[in-house]
Chain A
Amino acid sequence: MRNGKVVLRAYLGGAVFLLALWWAISLLVELPIIPAPDKVLVKLSHVFMQAIAIHGAYSLWRIAAGLVLAVGIGYPIGLIMGYFPRADRLLAPLVYLTYPIPKIALLPILMLLAGIGEWSKILMIFLIIVFQVIIAVRDGIRAIPEETYYPLYSLGASFGQLFRYVIFPASLPKFITAVRVAMATAISVLFFTETFGTQYGMGYYIMDAWLRVNYLEMYAGIVVLSFLGLLLFGLIDLVEYFACRWQQ
Chain B
Amino acid sequence: MIEVEHLTVSYPADGSEQIALHDVSLTVPQGTVCAVIGPSGCGKSTLLKVVAGLIHDYQGTVRIAGKDINPRAMKIGFMPQNYGLMPWQTVAENIMLGCRIKGEVPDEMQERMAELCKRLGIAGLEERYPQELSGGQQQRVGLARAFLLRPDILLMDEPFSALDAITREEMQEVFLDLWQENHITTILVTHYVEEALYLGQQIALMAAHPGTVQAVRLNGLAGSVEKRQTAEFFAAGQQLRDKIKAMEVRR
Q: Which residues of A contact B72 (CB under 8 A)?
A: 156
> Which residue in B88, B97, B101, B102 is a CB contact (below 8 Å) of A170?
B88
Chain B 102-139 near chain A by CB (<8 Å), digits 1 or 0: 10000000000000000000000000010100000000
Is B76 touching A155 in the complex (CB atoms < 8 A)? Answer: yes
> Which residue in B82, B84, B101 is a CB contact (below 8 Å) of A156?
B101
Asked, given contacts A156-B71, A156-B73, whether A151 binds B129 with beta carbons under 8 Å apart, the answer is no
Chain B 131-160 near chain A by CB (<8 Å), digits 1 or 0: 100000000000000000000000100000
Is B101 touching A152 in the complex (CB atoms < 8 A)? Answer: yes
Q: Which residues of B contact A155 (CB under 8 A)?
A: 71, 75-76, 78, 98, 101-102
Q: Which residues of A contact B86 (CB under 8 A)?
A: 148, 165-166, 169
CA–CA, A172 and B70, complex, Å: 31
| Chain A contact residue count (CB 8 A cutoff) | 19
CA–CA, A156 and B52, complex, Å: 10
Is B82 touching A147 in the complex (CB atoms < 8 A)? Answer: yes
Is A246 touching B87 in the complex (CB atoms < 8 A)? Answer: yes
CA–CA, A137 and B86, complex, Å: 19
Chain A 228-248 near chain B by CB (<8 Å), digits 1 or 0: 000000000000000011100
Asked if A84 is at the interface (CB within 8 A of a chain B CB), the reply is no
CA–CA, A150 and B77, complex, Å: 11
CA–CA, A92 and B89, complex, Å: 32
Q: Which residues of B contact A165 (CB under 8 A)?
A: 86, 89, 97, 100-101
Is B129 touching A245 in the complex (CB atoms < 8 A)? Answer: yes
- Which of A170, A245, A246 has the most chain B CB within a 10 Å cutoff? A246
A157: nearest chain-B partner, CB-CB: B101
Asked if B53 is at the interface (CB within 8 A of a chain A CB), the reply is yes
| Chain B contact residue count (CB 8 A cutoff) | 28
Asked if A199 is at the interface (CB within 8 A of a chain B CB), the reply is no
CB interface residues, A 148-185, toward B, < 8 Å = 148, 150-157, 161, 165-166, 169-170, 172
Is A154 touching B129 in the complex (CB atoms < 8 A)? Answer: no
Chain B 27-45 near chain A by CB (<8 Å), digits 1 or 0: 0000000000000000000
CA–CA, A245 and B54, complex, Å: 30
Q: Which residues of A contact B84 (CB under 8 A)?
A: 147-148, 150-151
Is B78 touching A246 in the complex (CB atoms < 8 A)? Answer: no
Name A's interface SS: helix
Q: Which residues of B contact A172 (CB under 8 A)?
A: 88
Is A161 touching B101 in the complex (CB atoms < 8 A)? Answer: yes
CA–CA, A154 and B53, complex, Å: 6
Asked, given contacts A157-B101, A169-B88, A246-B131, whether A151 binds B80 with beta carbons under 8 Å apart, the answer is yes
Q: Which residues of A contact B49 (CB under 8 A)?
A: 150
CA–CA, A172 and B87, complex, Å: 13
Q: Which residues of B contact A244 (CB under 8 A)?
A: 88
A248: nearest chain-B partner, CB-CB: B129
- Which of A147, A151, A152, A244 has the most chain B CB within a 10 Å cutoff? A151
CA–CA, A165 and B54, complex, Å: 18
> Which residue in A148, A154, A169 is a CB contact (below 8 Å) of B78?
A154
CA–CA, A166 and B76, complex, Å: 19
B51: nearest chain-A partner, CB-CB: A154
Q: Closest Cβ of chain B: how far from A132's Cβ, in Å? A: 23
CA–CA, A246 and B80, complex, Å: 21
* Complex A-B: 11 CB contacts under 8 Å: A147-B84, A148-B86, A151-B98, A152-B101, A153-B54, A155-B78, A155-B101, A155-B102, A156-B70, A156-B76, A169-B88
Q: Which residues of B contact A (CB under 8 A)?
A: 49, 52-54, 70-73, 75-80, 82, 84, 86-89, 97-98, 100-102, 129, 131, 155
Extra 7 A-B pairs, beta carbons < 8 Å, given A147-B84, A150-B84? A152-B97, A152-B101, A153-B71, A154-B71, A155-B98, A170-B88, A246-B88
Which 7 residue pairs across A and B have the least CB separation, nearest first?
Answer: A156-B71, A156-B72, A154-B78, A169-B88, A151-B84, A154-B52, A155-B101
